[in-house]
Amino acid sequence: LIDDILESGKTLSFTRDLMLSRGAKSCVIAVLLDKRMRRQTTLNADYVGFDCPDYFVVGYGMDVAHAFRELPFVGVVKGDA
């Protein structure tokens, strides 16, 4: 499974368990950004691009109110966006 950011872990944990319950022999997880301090599950990614501090980030497909998704870098949103 590939995702942009791993925060609470709920979605990726559900998806991994679903794939395994449907017969996948294994399921590895790769994320661009990992916000470990936000984790609400015991899930950890197998491959992590970068650890991410607890900031609201945009770019590379991540957005705020449908804006900034197309940025070719990861940026931090400060104040009202």
Q: What is the pLDDT of residue 81?
A: 59
- State residue 79's pLDDT score: 77
Strands 30-34 and 47-51: parallel
The residues, ordered by sequence, that sit 6+ positions from 32 with a Cβ below 8 Å of its Cβ are 3, 4, 5, 49, 50, 60, 74
* Residue whose entry in the numeric block shows the structure tokens 């449907």: 22
**2-76: which CATH topology?**
Rossmann fold (3.40.50)
**H helix count then E strand count, the chain:** 1, 5
pLDDT tens over the chain, length 81 residues: 999 999 999 999 999 999 999 999 999 999 999 999 999 999 999 999 999 999 999 998 899 989 999 999 999 998 775
Whether this prediction's pTM lies above 0.95 is answered by no
Task: Locate the domains of the chain by residue range.
Answer: 2-76
